[in-house]
Structure 1
Amino acid sequence: MQDIGIAIQRPTHVKGECPVIPGLRKKNNLARHFRLFRRLYEYHLLGQMATGEPLCDVCQLQNFSKPAASWCSECEEAFCIECDDRHSRRKLTNNHKKISIRDYQKLPQSALEIKHHCSVHEEKYEYYCTNHVSPCCVKCAKEAHKKCEIDSLRDAVQNIKTSSSVTNIEQNLFEIQSIFEKIRDEKRSNLKHMDEKTKTYQKEIPDLRKQINCHLDSLELEMIKNIRDKQQEVKTKAEGFISIIDSKVKNVEKAINNIDQMKSHATDLQIFLSLREIEKDVERELSYIKELKTNPELKTVDVQLQVSNCLKSLQKDVKVWGEISIKTFDSTVCTEVTTEKQAQMILPCKSRKYVSDIHSITLKKNTSFKVQSENCKLAGCEIVPDGDILLVNQSYNIILMYNQSGGRIKEFKMPWKPYDITYICNDIVAISFIAEKKVCTFNTKNEQLDILYASPEKVFGIAYKHDKLFLRCGNIGIRIITVSGTLISDIKFDSHSTLYLCVGNSGQIYYPKSQERRVNCCDRQGNIQWTVAAYLLSEVRGITCGLNGIVFAADNAGGVTVISADGQQSKRILDKSSGLRDPYCIHFSDKRNQLLVCNQVDGQAFLYDVHY
């Protein structure tokens, strides 16, 4: 309909010909058709005005009402097709970035409220004040921010849509969404189980009632009522909790959708300033998730009935049908967010740390200790969030736990020979067992071992990231599974000299090719992003990811090499003089900024604090 109106307003058609239907001339009642189309267009225009759709700002200044077709973020005005055409032809405005009015309307209200011009001086924003975390024009920079640290706004917002700021906050939102959905699903499953168990009890009660005399009629009714009351009481609380989680899921989904729309249609400045508000929401939800650990509403509930033993024999002594109790169990949902640390500060500020040059990285030795064992073969290591250290000793099929000072806490005996270990959440780790071709989860608190995945090939190295486990799996290459053991995908490559792997926060996968003395970085589809085969690398054994995509690689020459996120730089950061002797396993803790390196055969472990 809008095209019809434009054709009517633009008399570029052949004289005597219909502007909408070429070839339609007077002999075909052109005038009648023209009036009809014009009337339809007028109705369409009135409909747009009635529904509140944007109109052309330029035409409205001239007392015309034409529907807007585009929006210019530089001018902060809506244009109809004709005004947009003139706007694009002007020398001063032909390079302005414009979007369709429909895309403009998809932006969240918070982005629409952000302007590109100073409300005080009516000048365009040119600078960004890192002290006040706000944009400013030239006059504001000279007057109100003359003592502040000022950056160019163009530099501050450059590549913001593809920056780690957007990536990190999106990842946080996705993880928060996943956590809330899992909590909701677990609670619903819990209610379903409780409903089924309640139905079972309700059936058992009248069955038992038939075996005893009618003296118990009143007791039967009373007990059924008590069961229903108790069940309803718990159910009401649970449904209220689910309602809260549902609302949070919707809020997160809305935030994700807002980011998608901003990435597609908003200006860099709009995204840049909107992220601060979204970050506050993210931090609030992260705080709520942390509080859930101590919230009794998160616990799984169960209804239980213990029938009195006296019922069957002592009618006169029985005063109640049984006892009802509600038993709670710890939730199985992982409430830890892997990117929480990165999401704490996403906008430019003075205190923000970013590893841009690997040559600025230094290691300070924290402690070193030796595993007290006659025959030792350390194949895997991990620093858990509370700082405890887990070591895989293949010689005795055990997992050892040490504190930060090197003091031995305990050991866990495994039924098979373990190969590698990775931390998941809530004191749960995943362990690969090479000969048995299994991956198991192990709870370091209650020492429960459960088989998670049975592999068709031997499983070597293992890594966890974003609710997924990445397995170095025999001739397959790399196999990706969920934490529930469901196969997601495979990355196939010539993997005969690859034992370990690690995964970056942005999803990149790193793995060594030991015999070829190089390290590869690939995406989830297996496409190689870069390869490092520098003279610094000998046969690489263990590998681990540091902050901002940097990689630490341990080799059989008794050293550790650090590689930049883009694979363009590498630097020898540890060598034999540090006491390393064929280090096999290595792990970096981004929560503690610590690097753990272990010799394979002599049981020596070295813990370093990483500085930038």
Structure 2
Amino acid sequence: MGDRYRDVLFKVCRKSQRVKMDATSEDVVEPMTNGVHHSEDSNTEPQEKKDCDPISECYICKKVYNIPKTLPCFHAFCCSCLEDNISKSLNQNGQKYFACPMCEEKCEIPQGALPGQYAHAFQDDLFLAKLVELQSAMCEGKLCDICERIEENKPASHWCMDCNDALCETCLKVHLHGKTTAGHSCLSIEEMRRIPLETLMKQKNKVPCMKHNELITLFCVDCREPLCVQCMAVSHRRCENVITVSDALTSRTDVNDVISRLNKLQATVENAGGIGQPDRTLENSIHEAQERINTICNTICDRVRQYQSVLLKSLESQSEKAKGLLQDRIQPRKTGLKSIKAANDRMQTLLRYGSDVEILLAYNQVRKKLDSCQGAIGNTEQKAPSVRLDFILDDTVERFIENFDRLGDLTVDVGDSDEGISSWGVTCTSSDDIIVTDCKNKRIQKFSKFGDLVDYVQLEDEPRDITTCGNRDDVAITMIGKLVIFLATRKTMQLIKRAKTERQYDGISYSEKDAYLIVSSLRDQVVDIIHLDGSVMRSFGSGAGDRVLFNEPRFISATPDRTIIISDVGQNAIICIDHNGKVVFRYKPDGQNGLKKPQGVCVDKLGNLFVADFGNNRVQLLASDGLFQRNVLGIESALEKPVAIRVSGSNRMIIVQSDGMVKVFSYS
């Protein structure tokens, strides 16, 4: 394997067709009869008005929404608040994206949005807008919306459920007799206040199509998308199952399934080291590091102070001993010096004041004293005797002081990050074009063999994996929502068809010999062989004695000899089965060749097997019988966290890393 490679960073572009895969359906409500409606229960107490319901409060300004706009992360904000936030963010980072004020998810500025109008390019939240309007209508002192538009202030008496306008008595009469509004349903505001807000929201809940501005009345079962009549005639004329919205909501199995999965996932994240756990882990580690630093320093200091106390006590006793020795050595000189000084003083006094006789009488005494003192003092030319008390440093401590330059080091441990794992899929065409699935950003991107972005398709659901199928370079893509879509890729990427599946599939590969798809399901822990229409031919999930074969089967590759290679993330293993589900080999080595969260697998024309060893930042090469050959790529090749892998017919290895970088290697 050579070290020559090319890196391609993914760029976001917006000029492409869109393949819509999902949409939420509207709630079914009972229709109201035309005219002015009155409550049947006149004894119902009016609702209490709250200052600001949290559901209608903007997170930024803490006030009721004013023209609510929704971001891709489903958080909504006032249009003006969002515009201010976007402008500040763009000035700070200089990029065409900003962070959601609530969840901090990166949101891209829609293409064509003009400065000062960024927020207007995002989708209007019609649901919240209606909610705010209804709450406003139920407040005391509500004015007629029609009159306000002509700058007149008249109290409103009724509410039109079709127009979402408050009307005074005069405007109500005109409204109910107009050609286009005669059939509208109007409620007395006083009586409307007695009706629960959730009931009002569901009544006459007409939602217009964002494309054609017609009311959404239909639902495409094949695409799981609400439609207006024009949508059905233009974009869904080939779909076989189009029903009314009310019929779609009769059986809410899919909706309930999504809600159940959301609740389960939320509970799992919150209870099993989810949102708050990383913060708590970091804070705990900071506290532990601080405690350890203090403990080490205090331990060293305590030991030093302990020996300091011992040495000071020893110094006290040794100093007394040394002083005694010194005293013994210098005392004779001290005594002799005093006697000599006294004799000298006497002789000087006698010479000045005494008589000759007195001088001679003292002379003999002084001479004898001088001889006696000189013998006691000794040789005066020698240095005075000295005594020292020295502290001799222990060799160990001396070396410690010389070598000690720091107590320790602090490092930030990011742990075993799984960011980007299982988020990419890759395949290549006969002309060496590279097709990549970007699960996070819900895109299918096409690159030339030189690394240039040629085309891309924006999806509304998350793609999971991709494979070429057939001899025309068509690709099949597993999608969130129990769906497989097929795209043509030779020129521009175009949708060919959709196939509903019985399970949610993740990995996918195409068997050229048998013309069927092989898919894996993480949720159901199985590997299935399916027809191109999505129907299951065979399913493999249990081995001998009903032993579970797979834990987390993610990526799949069909081999020329009709075996199937599966990377099992949960088992840190590569499993090979034949087309009947019998295990051919299981590659799960120990030691330095051990796998750590294996991801993409692929085979070349000779049957050699390549494994993206995600956790070890390398690609392993196995023989067709599953025996380890060597590591062909690693850190030395600037490879980091490989996820998806594919070998082209021209001996080019395409790898997508967890950070989204595409790297192409040539090998022989």
Q: TM-score per shorter chain, which class?
A: 0.3 to 0.5
**Structure number, greater radius of gyration:** 2
Larger helix percent: 1
Question: When the two structures are superposed, what TM-score results if normalisation uses the length of structure 1?
Answer: 0.38
